[in-house]
Amino acid sequence: MKPRRTAKPPNIRHYIADHPAPVDAGRLRLTGVRASANGMETSDLRIALFSGNYNMTVDGANKALNRLVGYLLAQGADVRVYSPTVDDPDFEPTGDLISVPSMAIPGRSEYRIPLWLSPRVKADLKAFNPNILHISSPDQVSRQAAAWARDRHIPVACSVHTRFETYFRYYNLSFVEPLMVAWLRRLYRRCDALIAPSESFAQVLRDQRMNYDIGIWTRGVDREVLRPSRRDMAWRRDLGIADDTPVIAYLGRLVMEKGLDVFADSIDLLRRRGVKHDVVVIGEGPAGDWFQSRLPNAKFVGFQGGTDLARAIASSEMLFNPSVTEAFGNVTLEAMACGLPVVAARATGSASIVKHQVTGYLVEPGAISLFADDLERYCTNSALRARHGAAALEESQSYQWDAINQTVVDTYMRLIRQKSAAPQDGQRR
């Protein structure tokens, strides 16, 4: 009996034991040592995907993972997702979601830490019989799942979605960063391949000696939803924004590692210069109260999704993204799809998307006065703003989801082919 596709089955942790994964005996040959990628099709794939946050709290990484799973299912592949779950997730998951043991992160209860690969989850994984394992966070469950796969000669792909090691800078724990890099390297070098969302981030991973097989899985945009025509002047007026006032948008979770301090300091400098502008903050998070205290005149509109998100972005004049922790920069691409120029930190993610002085400006991380200079250019020069916004829109149109997700499928196929040709010692069942 195949489990229902829902995030909230009754007593979800017992749900695994009561509803084990179905096994197609005719496809056992595709697993581990018996795998043969010759003539393999997407419909032959059986992907076990491990995530630290598949649908609990919406972010760019899990939106991309859910879209990938949707693409795989549409192509006939079998996918089974393993992740912590909550009773009231931000959105319904795509595909079959199996809960793993977890605990809330102290001080960040919207996230949960996967704890261990329990016997029930192992039994479900064995019954599902994957021919490739995809991990997407460096937590303990993913590490144990990767070891389980290696013991069975099953290839492991790891998609890397953020620069975890940089987070400690924002909590006065910079001394931990080298230890975190070593901890990540220990996992990443044991994977058959890494998958990065941008070439700039892939180069960082190479420089850190994380792995030397690194593919690119960039991101796309839904152009039916995100487009300049979503601009709504009445919505702006309801917020108290005059039609002739340039709006600087912040888009993303309100957490310190997104560069909220740099954003606020740059806006303060712009205000002291007497530059006419307004700020709209799109998003929510644990640092929301702090951010509001630093930007008392900004319009905080909370979390927005779908066409509401598109309206909020398109109703602005520019996006300001000072974050240096992004591996790709989904918010940057979303703004470009709505015809906005972008002022961003010259860091992984945005540096691969924004073309300096063409679709926006790239600034050295933390350079407050330089950020303010470029924001002022857009606030005071509508022709420049329009020209760069049009170029940003055109650039965004090259990011199409189906072609992007197919690159992941190609990576799966290649790893299975390589693993099937490799020597096998001590394989376990």
pLDDT tens digit string along 224-281? Answer: 999 999 999 999 999 999 999 999 999 998 999 899 999 999 999 999 999 999 999 9
Instruction: For the chain, give every domain's residue range.
Output: 12-220+402-421, 228-399
Q: What is the pLDDT of residue 377?
A: 98
The pTM for the full model equals 0.73
Say which residues have a Cβ less than 8 Å from residue 358's Cβ, sequence separation at least 6: 388, 391
Report the run of H or E that residue 182 belongs to, with start and end: helix 177-188
Residues sharing a CB contact under 8 Å with residue 272, sequence separation 6 or more, in sequence order: none
Cβ neighbors of 131 (< 8 A, separation 6 or more) are 30, 31, 32, 35, 44, 45, 46, 154, 416
Instruction: List, for residues 137-188, the tens digit of each pLDDT value.
Output: 999 999 999 999 999 999 999 999 876 666 656 666 777 778 888 888 999 9
Question: How are strands ordered across the β-sheet holding 278-282?
Answer: 299-302, 278-282, 247-251, 318-321, 342-345, 360-363
- Yes or no: say if 172 and 178 are a contact pair by the CB < 8 Å rule: no
The yes-or-no verdict on residue 7 having pLDDT over 70 is no
Average pLDDT for the chain: 87
Q: What are phi and psi of 207, to 5 degrees?
A: -60, -30
* Among the four given CATH numbers 3.90.1150.10, 3.40.50.2000, 3.40.630.30, 3.40.640.10, the one describing domain 12-220+402-421: 3.40.50.2000
Buried b (16+ CB within 10 A) or exposed e, 104-143: eeeeeeebbbbeebbebbeebbbebbbbbbbbbbbbbbbb
**Is it true that 12-220+402-421 and 228-399 share their CATH fold?**
yes
Average pLDDT over residues 398-420: 93
The answer to whether the CB of 166 falls within 8 A of the CB of 138 is no
Query: 358: closest CA among 333, 390, 329?
Result: 390
Mean pLDDT of 181-197: 92
In angstroms, the Cα distances linking 122 to 116, 118, 353 are 10, 6, 40
Can you give the C-alpha Rg of the chain in angstroms? 22
Pick from 56-65, 77-86, 373-382: least confident = 56-65
User: Of 361 and 57, which is predicted with more confidence?
Assistant: 361
Lowest mean pLDDT among 77-81, 313-317, 402-406: 402-406
Other CB atoms within 10 Å distance of the CB of residue 237:
11
Whether the pLDDT of residue 10 is over 50: the answer is: no
8 Å CB contact between 49 and 157? no
Q: Are 195 and 47 in contact (CB under 8 A)?
A: no
Contact, 427 vs 32, CB < 8 A? yes
pLDDT at 29 over 90: no
Q: Provide the CATH number for the domain formed by 228-399 in this structure.
A: 3.40.50.2000
Summarize pLDDT for 79-137 with one digit per residue, the tens.
Answer: 999 999 999 999 999 999 999 999 988 877 778 989 999 999 999 999 999 999 999 99
Place of tokens 């994977």: 191
**Mean pLDDT on 286-311:** 96
User: Which residues touch 301 (CB under 8 Å, ≥6 apart)?
Assistant: 239, 280, 281, 282, 312
Lowest mean pLDDT among 32-41, 322-331, 398-407: 32-41
